[in-house]
Amino acid sequence: MTKYIAKRLIMSILTLFAIIFVLFVLIRIMPGNPFPVERMSAEMILQKRLELGLDKPILVQFADYMSMLMHGSFGNGTSLYNGAPIKPIMLKCLENSFKIGVLSILFGTLVGLVIGIVAALNRGKFLDGLCTIISILGVCIPSYVFMIFLQYFFSYKIPLFPYFFDPSKFLSSAVMPALSLSLFAISTVARFTRNEMVEVINSDYVKLAEAKGLYGFQLIRRHVLRNALIPIVTVIAPLVVDLLTGAMVIEKIYGINGVGKLMVDAIAGQGVDYNYVLALGIVFSSLYIGVMLLLDILYGIIDPRIRLAAKDG
């Protein structure tokens, strides 16, 4: 087990390093320059370049950046209107996004599990059809569209929740974004759970357990759920990624100060802020790779076959 974890860990760190290197090089070799030409003279730009160390060879710059990163700093933003250190802003945004993201993943997985289990136990009946409809809706309606509707009906028509995100009233203003973000998770998890459960319910060992006299909740908990839940772990990783994408638009719509909004501002605002793009790219990539690593390890713990296969291969 330790060997398996170590192997995965080293692989992830190498991948992350490669990604950071590629991002860094891509951003540095970019044509054009990061400063507004119309507002700065050539000398000012030259001076600014010296200040930021942009005149050094690219590998030296990369080494400098990495050592800065190791000390937990992302440097400053490039643009004139936002040249402040990135880290404090990033931390604040991460906190907001993280809270809402975790809420929606938890809510989505739980509700999805319940719906999937209910559907599998009532397969072919009305509740099963309802579950299918919910999961289809979740797949074909993007989360931000759902968010727009929620905002229109429950903040504008009926002022139940704040119209824009308000950090001082976190709970009531987190309801709508978390709900709309969890829609996709609900539908994916519900669909997957249902299919897995139906497969397990039809398997021989469940029939044997039934023949032994086990029934009801005992049977579901001890025999069906344990085996049906293993593959569900795999769908959660892509969910986290979708969450990042969905959060980007939802944060824009709802005015949440989160990493998604930061990213939108960095690429779609006035002029692209290179250092923000780089910093956000690093944060997103490490988040994604971290989640993948965690799930791989979790998967190895739940299902010994995986780590045995990894040992052989």
Partner 1 sequence: MNMEKNYTPQKTDFEFISGRNIDVDTNFASQGYWRGVAVHFFRNKFAVTGLILVCAIMIFAICAPLVSPYSYQEIISITGENGKEIVAKSLPPQFAGENQNLFADKTFIFGTDDMGRDLWTRTWQGARVSLIIAFVAIFIDMLIGMSYGLISGFFGGNIDNVMQRFIEIAGSIPTLVIISILAIFMDKGIGLVIASLLITEWIGMSKIARAECLKLKEREYVLASRTLGAGSFHIIFKQILPNTIGPIITQVMFSIPVAIFTEAFLSFVGVGIVLPQCSIGSLIEAGFNNITILPYQILPPICVLAILMLGFNLIGDGLREALAPKLEDM
User: Would you tell me which residues interact with partner 1 (CB under 8 A)?
Assistant: 15, 18-19, 23, 26-27, 30, 136, 139-142, 144-145, 148, 152, 156, 241, 244-245, 248-249, 252-253, 263-264, 266-268, 272, 274, 277, 280-281, 284-285, 287-289, 292
Burial category of 112 from C-beta neighbours within 10 Å (exposed 0-12, middle 13-18, buried 19 and up): buried
Question: Closest approach of Cβ 22 to partner 1, in Å?
Answer: 8
Question: Closest approach of Cβ 50 to partner 1, in Å?
Answer: 23
Question: Closest approach of Cβ 277 to partner 1, in Å?
Answer: 5
Between residues 39 and 157, which has the closer beta carbon with respect to partner 1?
A: 157
- CA 204 to CA 208: how far, in whole Å? 6
Question: Closest approach of Cβ 249 to partner 1, in Å?
Answer: 6
* Contacts of 209 by beta carbon, 8 Å cutoff, 6+ apart: 219, 222, 223
Quote the Cα angle for 146-182-281, to 5°.
95
Between residues 92 and 271, which has the closer beta carbon with respect to partner 1?
A: 271
State the residue for tokens 């397969």.
123
Question: Closest approach of Cβ 141 to partner 1, in Å?
Answer: 5
Between residues 160 and 267, which has the closer beta carbon with respect to partner 1?
A: 267
- CA 193 to CA 230: how far, in whole Å? 10
Between residues 152 and 170, which has the closer beta carbon with respect to partner 1?
A: 152
Between residues 223 and 252, which has the closer beta carbon with respect to partner 1?
A: 252
Q: Write the secondary structure of 185-209 as one string of H (helix), E (strand) and C (coil).
A: HHHHHHHHHHHHHHHHHCCHHHHHH
Strands annotated E in the chain: none
